[in-house]
Amino acid sequence: MNYEDFKNRNMNQKVLKIIFGVIGSILILKFFYRLVLTVFQYVFMSEKNLKERYGTNTWVMVTGPSGGIGKQLALKFAKRGFNICLVGNKKCTQVQSDIKKLNNNVQTHWIEADFSNENAYDHIETWAIDNGTQWAILINNVGYRVGGLKYEELSWKEMRKSINVGTIPQSRLIQFMIKHSVKTKNTDHHRAIINITALCQTHTDLFNLNPILSLPYLATYEASNAYGFYHSESVRKELKDRFTKIDYLTITPGAVLTENTKKIMNPPLAVESGKYAENIIKLLGNKNGVSSAYWGHSLISSVVNVVPFISSYMLKKVSKTLATNLSALQKSSKFIVIAPVEAQKLLEKDFKPFGL
Ligand SMILES: NC(=O)c1ccc[n+]([C@@H]2O[C@H](COP(=O)([O-])OP(=O)(O)OC[C@H]3O[C@@H](n4cnc5c(N)ncnc54)[C@H](OP(=O)(O)O)[C@@H]3O)[C@@H](O)[C@H]2O)c1
């Protein structure tokens, strides 16, 4: 090797070192930036004064509040002195009495709605027109799970229900909120829109190449949640340029344990719905946009970023249990959480798709 070759090789090595050094530094900076934001959110963030921010004697509307995260949010806001408008099935009357026991000073209103059809929207809009100036917060929570191990054997009726319940309420109710509440000029207070969607994406800046998180065996439910996620973010980006006083959250839960979900799953890093509701409330006025609202669910995204091969194995295992139990739940009102292998045996023996 002559002197020129030697010089060129050294030069190439230096250039490569600089390129890798810059890429490495960017990744480390990104990692620490995200870490600092995460630590701030889960350790140091404190709840805003919600009455000051959203006004007194104001209303929170929640869809699907007869159980789960929706019910917990209704109770937590009532405890903080907000009037609650419950939009859902007959079980909401029980939630109304629970609210009264918790805080007798707040008002409640129930709009009966079965979101599998479109009958309730006129009633909801009438309420919005009558109460728009005092309507401070909209929570799009309602969702309906359908699943099974054989897609082609699922009931179309159930699938359509999942699509209707998981997509249309959020699409229409945000319109009502903007038209009848956000656009009313006679208030200095903020408004808030909270859309509960699902964890649909993971980080890809370390070893993970595929950002998509999706569960097999639950296609229409998964897709409805993904609709909620992208719809929510699209509307948020439009509204932030048009209105200054909107707090807007796109919540992306992983596993949250509710009366319903406890019967069908118990994966690692799950959180109780009461705790989860508190976490969502803490974000109001502190953060806008996408948040998983629980450190365990944020961690999932980071773990998948470091060890990507774990995600498809884990997700498949979790969703198989979930879908199998959903099917079994349909077959029997007496229900226990069963291990995936046992559940699969049960189905192989006597499989009836969920919803038929
Ligand atoms: N929990 C989780 O692990 C998880 C994970 C990712 C995303 N999410 C999303 O978070 C939201 C809340 O989930 P969750 O786990 O709290 O659900 P949940 O426990 O199943 O509660 C859903 C609520 O919606 C109501 N509902 C269902 N279909 C309805 C219909 N056709 N009309 C009116 N109300 C209806 C249910 O009523 P009844 O129960 O009284 O029938 C219930 O009150 C959903 O959008 C879900 O997709 C949850």
For residue 116, which atom of ligand 1 is closest to its CA?
A: 31
Report the candidate in 99, 77, 181 with the shortest Cα–Cα distance to residue 136. Answer: 181
Compute the distance between CA of residue 157 and CA of residue 325 in angstroms, rounded to an integer: 19
pLDDT-based confidence at 93, cuts 50/70/90? very high
β-bridge partners, 135: 59
CA 2 – CA 322 distance, rounded (Å): 67
- Per the structure block, which two tokens stand in for 116? 């599998």
Q: Is 269 left (phi over 0), alpha (psi -120 to 50) or beta?
A: left
pLDDT at 351: 36
pLDDT digits (tens, 9 = 90+) for 48-60: 999 999 999 999 9
What's the 203 CA to ligand 1 centre distance in angstroms? Answer: 27
Which runs of consecutive H residues, i.e. helices, occur in the chain? 3-39, 50-54, 68-79, 92-102, 121-131, 156-177, 219-242, 273-283, 295-306, 309-331, 340-350
Residues with CB under 6 A from ligand 1: 64, 66-70, 88-89, 91, 113-116, 141-144, 165, 196, 198, 225, 253, 255-256, 258, 260-261, 273
The residues, ordered by sequence, that sit 6+ positions from 127 with a Cβ below 8 Å of its Cβ are 85, 109, 111
CB 351 within 8 A of CB 150: yes
Output the CA 64–ligand 1 centroid distance in Å: 6
Spacing, Cα 130 to ligand 1 middle (Å):
27
Distance 286 CA to ligand 1 centre (A): 26
Report the atom number in ligand 1 closest to the C-alpha of 69: 16
Res 335: pLDDT = 38
The per-residue pLDDT for range 143-197, each reduced to its tens digit, is: 999 999 999 999 999 999 999 999 999 999 999 999 999 998 667 899 999 999 9
Shortest-distance Cα residue to atom 23 of ligand 1: 64
What is the rounded average pLDDT of the residues 34-47? 94
Q: Which residue, among 322, 325, 300, 182, has the nearest Cα to 243 in the 3D structure?
A: 182
CA of 145 to the centre of ligand 1 (A): 8
- CA of 75 relative to ligand 1 center, distance in Å: 16
Class of domain 47-350: alpha beta
Compute the distance between CA of residue 229 and CA of residue 71 in angstroms, rounded to an integer: 21
Ligand 1 centre to CA of 196 (Å) is 10
For 207-257, how does the pLDDT look when each residue is reduced to its tens digit (9 = 90+)? 899 999 989 999 999 999 999 999 999 999 999 999 999 999 999 999 999
Q: Whose CA is nearest to atom 44 of ligand 1?
A: 143
State the Cα–Cα distance between residues 165 and 147, nearest whole angstrom. 15
136 within 8 A of 61, measured Cβ to Cβ: no
**Residue 244, number of CB atoms within 10 A of its CB:** 8
State residue 216's pLDDT score: 94
pTM beyond 0.85: yes
Residue closest via CA to ligand 1's atom 17 equals 68
Dump pLDDT digits (tens) for 328-338. 886 664 334 44
| 3-state secondary structure (DSSP) of residue 250 | strand
Segment 274-281 mean pLDDT: 98
Which of 62, 110, 142 to mutate for ligand 1's pocket (most ligand atoms within 8 Å of CB)? Answer: 142
* Choice between 300 and 98, residue whose per-residue pLDDT is larger: 98
Which of 141, 276, 315, 333 to mutate to test ligand 1, by most ligand atoms within 8 A of the CB atom?
141
What's the whole-number mean pLDDT along residues 32-57? 95
Per DSSP, what are the bridge partners of residue 109? Answer: 85
Long-range contacts of 120-128 (CB under 8 A, 24+ apart): 120/87, 121/172, 124/87, 124/172, 124/173, 124/176, 125/176, 125/180, 127/85, 128/176, 128/177, 128/179, 128/180, 128/181
Domain ranges across the chain: 1-44, 47-350
- The burial of 10, by beta-carbon neighbours within 10 Å (0-12 exposed, 13-18 middle, 19 or more buried), is given as exposed
Q: DSSP letter at 153? A: G
Q: Contact 78/103 with Cβ under 8 angstroms?
A: yes
166 CA distance to ligand 1 centroid (A)? 9
Alpha carbon of 69 to ligand 1 centroid (Å): 7
Residue 10 CA to ligand 1 center (angstroms) comes to 62
Among protein residues, the one with the nearest Cα to ligand 1's atom 47 is: 143
Protein residue closest via CA to atom 36 of ligand 1? 64
When the pLDDT of each residue in the chain is averaged and rounded to a whole number, the result is 91
The atom number, within ligand 1, closest to the CA of 71 reads 43
> Which residues lie across from 290 on neighbouring strands?
250
Q: Provide the pLDDT for residue 345.
A: 53
Q: Which of 24-33, 147-156, 261-270 reaches the highest mean pLDDT?
A: 147-156
Crossing angle of helices 219-242/156-177, nearest 10°?
Answer: 10
